[in-house]
Amino acid sequence: MSVHPYITDSIELLKRMIAVPSFSREEQGVAALLEDFFKRNGLDYYQRKGNNLWIRSKYYSEKSPTILLNSHIDTVQPSSGWTSDPFSPKEEDDKITGLGSNDAGASVVSLLAAFRMLEEKKHPCNFIFAATAEEEISGEEGVASILDQLGPVDLGVVGEPTRMQMAVAEKGLMVLDGTVKGKSGHAARDEGINAIYEAIPVIEWFRNYQFPLQSEFLGPVKMTVTGIGAGSQHNVVPDVCLFMVDIRVNEHYKNEELFQLIRQHVNCELKARSFRLNSSSVSVNHPFVKRGEELGLEKFGSPTTSDQARMPFTTVKIGPGDSSRSHTSDEFIRPSEIVEGVKIYHQLLDNLHIHSI
């Protein structure tokens, strides 16, 4: 079976991307690689800010709604369990193994190939392809730093490994740091107020409380105490107990709203590290979702956070690969998954009609 030359180009581009380390805030090598690819393939109307690059459709019209095709070029650090060089792409048994191959290099190159195909004719919508930085750390110099330069966006298609199924909702993330105070004293005597004991009912509340609004796709808000620290030596009653909580938020609550609700229930000092990674969702009646259903794609809710959380417009997450491979040793993508990904992206977007916000 013949493969479209744009797809062949993209698979070769992915191998070259793997060979260049691209950790968060250090994506300049891959950004330069993409710049070179754009120029050599006639996409020299791109723009760049920092390590973010984007291409606006040559048929762009301010009168038409705009669809952003976005994925990220940064990776996490390789784990210690790799059995091969994570920066030497290895292709065998329908696998390309290498750091960032699955998360999210395959989405970057698949969206790029689909964008190039869409560029061959005018569509009812504008398209902007963007390859952006700092997704893995939710950094300020990633996609959030270029949104004001993209103009109005009516739909964001965020490339992440979802087996090319549609994540129509994504949980937000809020991390809390808590401080429970007591009073120091000698452990041999009945004195002081043990901050650890005072913290037990607080931690139990985070363990057991269920917020009333649950999501069809994301389920309940999930709160997990993921760290605790107290005490300096065995014979001193600790006067402070510190803990942290990972909270995955469904689309029924904004992070700041949820924080205020938690403060009403918990009697201790609480500080949120950030409110900016809110949950996101798209209507199941959106034309993109409806077309996906016509193609036989499934709808699901994603428990992991992506750059969707930074986008103040309707988004859907979909891409080749499998989330279970992300951040693992010997991470891989199948070339056949990229072929399928480009095909489905093109089928979803070709002549798609959506309304401007």
Q: pLDDT per position in the chain (357 positions), as tens? A: 579 999 999 999 999 999 999 999 999 999 999 999 999 999 999 999 999 999 999 999 999 999 999 999 999 999 999 999 999 999 998 899 999 999 999 999 999 999 999 999 999 999 999 999 999 999 999 999 999 999 999 999 999 999 999 999 999 999 999 999 999 999 999 999 999 999 999 999 999 999 999 999 999 999 999 999 999 999 999 999 999 999 999 999 999 999 999 999 999 999 999 999 999 999 999 999 999 999 999 999 999 889 999 999 999 999 999 999 999 999 999 999 999 999 999 999 999 999 876
How would you classify the pairing of strands 236-237 and 185-186? antiparallel
Per-residue pLDDT, 183: 96
**pLDDT tens, position by position, 112-124:** 999 999 999 999 9
Q: Which tokens is 263 given?
A: 């403060």
pLDDT per position as a tens digit, 7-56: 999 999 999 999 999 999 999 999 999 999 999 999 999 999 999 999 99
Which stretches within the chain are classed as H helix? 5-18, 28-40, 106-118, 147-150, 195-208, 255-265, 287-294, 335-349
CB of 345 closer than 8 Å to CB of 112: no
pLDDT of residue 93: 87
